[in-house]
Amino acid sequence: MSRRFLLGLSVLLAVGLLSYLYADSLVFLFDRIGSDDYSHGIFVPVICLFLVWQARHRISAVGTEQSWWGLAIVSAGLLLYGVGEMGTLYVVQHLSLWIVLVGLVTGAIGMRAAREITFPLAYLLTAVPLPNFLYAGLSSKLQLWSSALGVGCLRLIGVTAFQEGNVIDLGPVQLQVVEACSGIRYLFPLTSLALLCAYLFKDRMWKRIVLVLSSIPISILVNGLRIGMIGLLVEWNGQGAAEGFSHLFEGAVLFMASLGLLMFEMWLLARVHPMGAGTSLLEKFTWTDDGPRALEGRGLRSKAPTAKRQPATSTALFPGPAYFCSVALLVPVAFASTFLTERKEIAPTRAIFVDFPMQFDGWVGTALALEKQYVDALRFDDYVLADFRSHTGQPVTFYVAYYQSQRKGQSAHSPQSCLPGDGWEIVAMNGVDIPADSGTVRSSVHANRAVIQKGGHKQVVWYWFKQRDRILNNEYLVKFFLFWDAVTRGRTDGALVRVSSVVGPGETETIVDQRLLQLVSAVEPELNRYVPD
């Protein structure tokens, strides 16, 4: 009774400390799980607990013991927590929490017993949301693929349809495949289910891998079919058919259809080079207490007889000192986290963009305003958006979003995720060197250059990230130096700078590049007042 009491008390203490340490990231996690894209996440912990309960006999067979490896794993997870807190990355904190949980389990039951529940522990990761920049990039690609598949389905049945980026043109009606229709809300749940099915499917490893990988094209194809069906309904019944109950009903029905395709694939795989004669799919795909070893002793893995494994005995105290030390380690880290979360960042002195000049060496600008929905989504602290015109040529759109503190969930967004949209599509992506002015001390800027196209219209876009005194063009480097400067300098401020212009009639991309270079050369020396080094 005393051991059970100590175990229960330590579990409550660990839950309380972890809730305190990861409060912000857990709020973010539950908020994302509440969305349609990650709605499967609420079931993942329940499934993992059930799989652990399934494995109870295997755990009993190998025996439980204390393991100091648990303390090492917990220490690594807490170190990663510090990285995530300083670097303001939710995904790092989610990974840190998972590592700490694995460490506590390992410290409590030992390495051998922990190996018996490797999959349930790893399966928890399927509830972790992707980082925003990866999610946005994946979503934009899925929008284009789904649009192309939808148009293909419509043409196959004789409906005239054209694609312009993520817009499907049906003549009198245009359908925009927005982020919510990209297919991500099919992809994540179906991939998670495919992993679970592969674990329960007692067959050769290559079949399990094929099963998991096939969930990706299945989800994309089914979403393309759904968009084609919506386009057909709009063609027959008008714009209202793309909204409301019918839209949701199609999504639910086709998701069940995609799950049915997954099960049908398992049925086919079970008949390709079967592991043992007379083994049915029900025997291969079954809930048993023996887990992955369910078919051992049935002649499916080896015809040699296997000796019945005797339960292992352990004289180690349960829970042992290794587990209690792992829990105790959370206490000082919880106290130290108070200083991390409440640390004061240095806010550099800067001018505000409302005073940004609108005249530069022959360029005259007109200030523009972003719609509220974009302001709420981008979450910057200050910005400038203006169209600059010279005496000749097309205007150049100049946009800078400044973040005084790039904390969790508030940082510069990559234009790669927002340029595709409203029918625009990225057709080329490379780099461009912007030479330094002779009167400045800065070196040349290596910016990203994107060419986007919509029908017969084309734009050239340059963008880069000004992060403190660094000019960066890589989102991953932005995150790295965000962490580094937060630790060494106490600063996480920075900005995204973007300039773009339309390729006018009779113009080439080279002419547009020269126009962008002229404006950047004129504006850049003034920019340091508003985005300081």
498 pLDDT above the threshold of 60: yes
431 pLDDT above the threshold of 80: yes
Supply the DSSP symbol for 323: H
Per-residue pLDDT, averaged over 467-473, amounts to 90
Pairwise pLDDT comparison (111 vs 346), residue with the higher score: 111
Predicted local confidence at residue 40, as pLDDT? 87
**Residues 392 and 520 occupy one common structural domain:** yes
Predicted local confidence at residue 251, as pLDDT? 65
Return the minimum-mean-pLDDT range out of 66-75, 402-411, 431-440.
Answer: 431-440
**Residues 115 and 236 occupy one common structural domain:** no
Return the minimum-mean-pLDDT range out of 64-73, 357-366, 414-423, 486-495.
Answer: 414-423
Of the three residues 277, 310, 341, the one that is the final residue of a domain is 341
Residue 407: inside a domain, yes or no? Answer: yes
How many structural domains comprise the chain? 3
**Residues 358 and 422 occupy one common structural domain:** yes
- pTM of the entire structure? 0.75
Per-residue pLDDT, averaged over 70-85, amounts to 90
**Residues 466 and 500 occupy one common structural domain:** yes
Contact 495, 402 (CB under 8 A): yes
Predicted local confidence at residue 191, as pLDDT? 92
Residue 309: inside a domain, yes or no? Answer: no
Return the minimum-mean-pLDDT range out of 134-143, 378-387, 519-528.
Answer: 134-143
Predicted local confidence at residue 28, as pLDDT? 87
Return the minimum-mean-pLDDT range out of 232-241, 302-311, 420-429, 505-514.
Answer: 302-311
**Residues 389 and 479 occupy one common structural domain:** yes
**Residues 165 and 81 occupy one common structural domain:** no
pLDDT band of 451, cuts 50, 70, 90: very high
pLDDT band of 436, cuts 50, 70, 90: low
Predicted local confidence at residue 379, as pLDDT? 84
411 pLDDT above the threshold of 90: no
Residue 256: inside a domain, yes or no? Answer: yes
Residue 302: inside a domain, yes or no? Answer: no
**Residues 322 and 466 occupy one common structural domain:** no
User: 413-440 burial string, b = 16+ CB within 10 Å, else e?
Assistant: bbbbbebbbebbbbeeeeebebeeeeee
Pairwise pLDDT comparison (276 vs 321), residue with the higher score: 321
Half-sphere exposure of 368 (CA within 13 A, CB side): 13
**Residues 358 and 425 occupy one common structural domain:** yes
Return the minimum-mean-pLDDT range out of 98-102, 124-128, 201-205.
Answer: 201-205
Give the Cα separation of 174 and 158 in Å (integer).
17
208 pLDDT above the threshold of 70: yes
Q: Count of CB atoms within 10 A of residue 226's CB?
A: 25
**Average pLDDT in the chain:** 81
What's 398's domain CATH number?
Answer: 3.40.1000
Of the three residues 271, 286, 301, the one that is the final residue of a domain is 286
Predicted local confidence at residue 116, as pLDDT? 92
Contact 320, 463 (CB under 8 A): no
Per-residue pLDDT, averaged over 210-224, amounts to 89
295 pLDDT above the threshold of 70: no
Range with top average pLDDT, 1-10, 287-296, 372-381: 372-381
Predicted local confidence at residue 301, as pLDDT? 43
Residue 346: inside a domain, yes or no? Answer: no
Question: What's the pLDDT tens digit per position in 220-241?
Answer: 888 888 888 777 777 777 666 5
Per-residue pLDDT, averaged over 116-121, amounts to 94
**Residues 361 and 376 occupy one common structural domain:** yes
Adjacency order of strands within the sheet including 167-169:
162-164, 167-169, 174-176
Residues near 279 by beta carbon (within 8 Å), at least 6 away in sequence: 270, 295, 298, 300
Domain that holds residue 266: 133-286
Predicted local confidence at residue 305, as pLDDT? 42
pLDDT band of 354, cuts 50, 70, 90: very high
**Residues 378 and 506 occupy one common structural domain:** yes
Beta bridge partners of 364: 359, 389
Question: What's the pLDDT tens digit per position in 325-345?
Answer: 989 999 999 888 877 666 677
4 pLDDT above the threshold of 50: yes
Residue 299: inside a domain, yes or no? Answer: no
Of the three residues 341, 373, 404, the one that is the final residue of a domain is 341
78 pLDDT above the threshold of 90: yes
What is the token pair recorded at 140? 């934009």
Residue 488: inside a domain, yes or no? Answer: yes
Give DSSP secondary structure letters for 424-489: BEEEEEEEEEEPPPTTS----EEEEEEEEEETTEEEEEEEEEEETTEEE--HHHHHHHHHHHHHHT
Per-residue pLDDT, averaged over 122-151, amounts to 82
**Residues 234 and 328 occupy one common structural domain:** no
Pairwise pLDDT comparison (34 vs 117), residue with the higher score: 117
Return the minimum-mean-pLDDT range out of 291-305, 365-379, 458-472.
Answer: 291-305
**H or E stretch at 502:** strand 494-502
Predicted local confidence at residue 525, as pLDDT? 86
Predicted local confidence at residue 434, as pLDDT? 85
Pairwise pLDDT comparison (489 vs 178), residue with the higher score: 489
Residue 301: inside a domain, yes or no? Answer: no
Pairwise pLDDT comparison (174 vs 244), residue with the higher score: 174
**Residues 408 and 456 occupy one common structural domain:** yes
Total residue length of the chain: 533
